[in-house]
Amino acid sequence: PDPAGRETTLATPATRKAARDRDVDIDDVPTDQTRDGEAFVTAEAVNAYADALESPASTPEPEPVETGPGTEPAVTAGDASETSAPASGDETVPYRGVRRTIGKQMERSKFTAPHVTHHDTAEVDALVEAREELKPKAEAEGVKLTYMPFVMKAIVAGLKEYPYLNSELREDDEEIVLKSEYNLGIAVATDAGLMVPVVENVDEKGLFELADAVNDLASRARERKLKPAEMQGGTFSITNFGAIGGEYATPIINYPETAILGLGAIEERPVVRDHADVASEFLDDSDDSTVVPAPTLPLSLSIDHRVVDGAVAAEFANTVMEHLENPLLLLNE
């Protein structure tokens, strides 16, 4: 039987003990029962699933491979017969539950959507200043203001101008659905694996409201207190690997979405500026421009190339950068 691969499951302590005794991940047990909107598993369902896994019928014998005269069957590195047993001291970790669900979703995305990643860098002096000016007011209202709400608003500006990045390809129906809502998923690293809670209707929320929503969802994701509905309905996703010091990456799309934006760390890096835009201590007489340190934000935009052309991805990134470099434009979003 195929594992259910849920992220949360309701069950009695006795049922959970039965799952442990049968070496079954309770999140994998199929069930049609629910309690308060969550999947509910009984001990009978656990035992039926475990029995099915142990049944010889669930492990079909491989079909014989015919070979021609003078030929031998090909052997590849992936053959089960070539899998080595764990060496002494190795640790074996179950590949089930949330980890398996994440793996299946990543596999589905990578092998379904042809990924292309566009990299660019925004110069964010004005954004840093805007956040610093707003932080005291945010703190007075009990809000922790990060850069994420600014990025979310800039993304919405880009999606409004380039709606194919806010779409879903339904290949069987031969159609692309351009979404009318702007629901942004925020990737959150947790002890259980990657969670992507969704902030709905970003275009209708202010910066402080977005900050509250992101902080709340991220906190509950780390505590594994999210409801399944809070991780559904996204139209575009953001991953902030810069929080641990990264610059660029090739993010995997949260399929069936069409695009994902990765954020690097905001740090001072060398940039070229015209003399008119540079403080006097950085100037020399050698040219009309000079290299100075300035805060920059690396961006990595992955797209489904079946839906979005590279030129459109670059134009979308330009619009996002324009709004990050001129944060007053975000007042219109």
Whether 122 contacts 247, CB under 8 Å: no
Task: Sort strands 34-35 and 198-199 into parallel, antiparallel or unpaired.
Answer: unpaired
Selected catalytic residue, list 115, 119, 275, 305: 305
Note the pLDDT tens digit of each residue in 237-285: 999 999 998 999 999 999 999 999 999 999 999 999 886 666 665 556 6
239/138 Cα distance (integer angstroms): 24
Q: Give a yes or no: residue 86 inside a domain.
A: no
* Structural domain total, the chain: 2
For 126, 280, 281, the CA distances from 274, given in Å and listed in that order, are: 16, 12, 14
225/216 Cα distance (integer angstroms): 11
Q: What is the mean pLDDT of the chain?
A: 89
Residues 48 and 185 in one domain: no
Residues 151 and 289 in one domain: yes
Q: Give a yes or no: residue 214 inside a domain.
A: yes
pLDDT score for 280: 60
Phi, psi (5° rounding) for residue 126? -65, -35
Residues 155 and 286 in one domain: yes
Which residue, 269, 276, 277, 272, is CA-closest to 294? 269
Q: Looking at residues 89-112, what average pLDDT do you find?
A: 90
Residues 205 and 268 in one domain: yes
Q: Give a yes or no: residue 309 inside a domain.
A: yes
The set of residues, in sequence order, having a beta carbon less than 8 Å from that of 13 and lying 6+ positions away, is: none
If one compares 37 and 27, the residue with the highest pLDDT of the two is 27
Residues 154 and 31 in one domain: no
Q: Give a yes or no: residue 124 inside a domain.
A: yes
Could you tell me the CATH number of the domain that includes residue 232? Answer: 3.30.559.10
305 catalytic? Reply is: yes
pLDDT score for 132: 97
CB atoms within 10 A of CB 23: 10
CB atoms within 10 A of CB 261: 26
- Residue 302: domain span: 108-332
Q: Give a yes or no: residue 68 inside a domain.
A: no
Least confident of 49-63, 173-187, 298-312: 49-63
Note the pLDDT tens digit of each residue in 145-193: 999 999 999 999 999 999 999 999 999 999 999 999 999 999 999 988 8
Phi, psi (5° rounding) for residue 33? -90, 150
Residues 210 and 129 in one domain: yes
Phi, psi (5° rounding) for residue 308? -120, 130
pLDDT score for 268: 96
Last residue of a domain, one of 40, 60, 80: 60
pLDDT score for 36: 75
Q: Give a yes or no: residue 117 inside a domain.
A: yes
Q: Give a yes or no: residue 292 inside a domain.
A: yes
DSSP string across 249-286: --PPP-TTSSEEEEE---EEEEEEEEGGGS-GGG--SS
| Cut 0.85: pTM above it | no
